[in-house]
Amino acid sequence: MSENPELVINDRWIVSNRGRKNSVDPQKPYAWLVEKERSISGEIEDIAIIFLTNRECPFRCLMCDLWKNTTDESVPAGAIPNQIKWALNHLPEVKHLKLYNSGSFFDGRAIPEEDYKKIASLVSNFETVIVESHPRLINEKCLLFRDMLKPELQVVLGLETVHTEILRKLNKQMTLEDFRNSVSYLTQHRIPSRAFILLRPPFLTESEGIYWAERSIDFAFSAGVECCTVIPVRAGNGAMDLLLGKGHFAPPDIHSLETVLEYGIKLNAGRVFADVWDLGLFSSCNKCIDQRTNRLIAMNLSQDIISRIECTCD
């Protein structure tokens, strides 16, 4: 692990290194798409994702770039239902829906509580609704929203890493106990949860990155999540680029993502997915990047180990 005695990573330092936000419309989601996912029962199903435009997350995690598509102030009541209505008009009919809001769904300054009823009625035809939240914002509001919903509610929580020193440096403002308590709370109330896990956060070598991602999967399943998604860490938010320039961060290699996904699937403790967005960033080999990406996608969907790609870059 590299040392960084001169750096004080806090909200102010992280925000001071940011660039400009993108221009967003509070009445429209900033993106929407459909992707395939393997369900708990083993079927490959389409899931719609609506990326809601709302007020920036109050946390300032070191690796986060989600602030880029947020507003500075809360959006007015009614805006979030309008965004959902807009997106549903542009999306095909599918059974499952992710409502991702670049922060926490249960942050009242992002999603006004008075909109819950309208949201619940708009999504009543889905079988599952998946939202994301910081573990410290898991409370009775989840139950309030769950009780209004016809579909099953699932919640994704960022665990990031179980390396406690790195977790502190990520400025996540969360302990492993917070994560465990939130998962327990959701489980007690029969709300399935998922975890986001980072592959190679800053200050770790490649092999440490693999080791800690695997330990984080172990921890997440032992806490009670049903599914883990492994996300290779990238630069691009200002602070991470600065760490990259100083040698405190390097993006993980796609081979490591393959190793961690294989590990997670072999555990057989729940579904494990690799985030496959823009994987070209994590490979320097043009010969095998497409094959490796396809292998990761196939393993996500089959939850089986597929034979490794052989290439001169191994």
Q: Which residues bind Zn ion (CB under 5 A)?
A: 285, 287-288, 311, 313
Tokens standing for 4? Answer: 């960084």
Do the Cβ atoms of 54 and 25 come closer than 8 Å?
A: no
CB of 198 to Zn ion, least distance (A): 24
Q: Which is nearer to Zn ion, 150 or 287 (CB)?
A: 287
Residue 230 interaction partner, one of Zn ion, ligand SF4, none, beta carbon < 5-8 Å per kind: none
Measured CA to CA, the distance from residue 308 to residue 297 in angstroms comes to: 13
Do the Cβ atoms of 232 and 251 come closer than 8 Å?
A: yes
Q: Which is nearer to ligand SF4, 101 or 259 (CB)?
A: 101
Residue 158 interaction partner, one of ligand SF4, Zn ion, none, beta carbon < 5-8 Å per kind: ligand SF4
Residue 287 interaction partner, one of ligand SF4, Zn ion, none, beta carbon < 5-8 Å per kind: Zn ion
Q: Which is nearer to ligand SF4, 57 or 276 (CB)?
A: 57
Residue 311 interaction partner, one of Zn ion, ligand SF4, none, beta carbon < 5-8 Å per kind: Zn ion
Tokens standing for 109? Answer: 């300054």
Q: Which is nearer to ligand SF4, 102 or 259 (CB)?
A: 102
What single DSSP character describes residue 12? H
Residue 59 interaction partner, one of ligand SF4, Zn ion, none, beta carbon < 5-8 Å per kind: ligand SF4
CB of 231 to ligand SF4, least distance (A): 10
Q: Which is nearer to ligand SF4, 106 or 126 (CB)?
A: 106
Q: Which is nearer to Zn ion, 101 or 256 (CB)?
A: 256
Residues that bind ligand SF4 (CB under 6 A): 57, 59-61, 64, 66, 102-103, 134, 158
CB of 175 to ligand SF4, least distance (A): 14
CB of 52 to ligand SF4, least distance (A): 12
Tokens standing for 45? Answer: 């199903």
Q: Which is nearer to ligand SF4, 57 or 167 (CB)?
A: 57
CB of 34 to ligand SF4, least distance (A): 23
CB of 266 to Zn ion, least distance (A): 23
Residue 313 interaction partner, one of Zn ion, ligand SF4, none, beta carbon < 5-8 Å per kind: Zn ion
CB of 279 to Zn ion, least distance (A): 12
Residue 285 interaction partner, one of ligand SF4, Zn ion, none, beta carbon < 5-8 Å per kind: Zn ion
CB of 199 to Zn ion, least distance (A): 19
The 3-class secondary structure across the chain, one letter per residue, is CCCCCCCCCCHHHHHHCCCCCCCCCCCCCCEEEEEEEECCCCCEEEEEEEECCCECCCCCCCCCCHHHHCECCCCCCCHHHHHHHHHHHHCCCCCEEEEECCCCCCCCCCCCHHHHHHHHHHCCCCCEEEEEECHHHCCHHHHHHHHHCCCEEEEEEEEECCCHHHHHHCCCCCCHHHHHHHHHHHHHCCCCEEEEEEECCCCCCHHHHHHHHHHHHHHHHHHCCCEEEEEECCCCCCHHHHHHHCCCCCCCCHHHHHHHHHHHHHHCCCEEEECCCCHHHHCCCCCCHHHHHHHHHHHHHHCCCCCCCCCCCC
Q: Which is nearer to ligand SF4, 82 or 102 (CB)?
A: 102
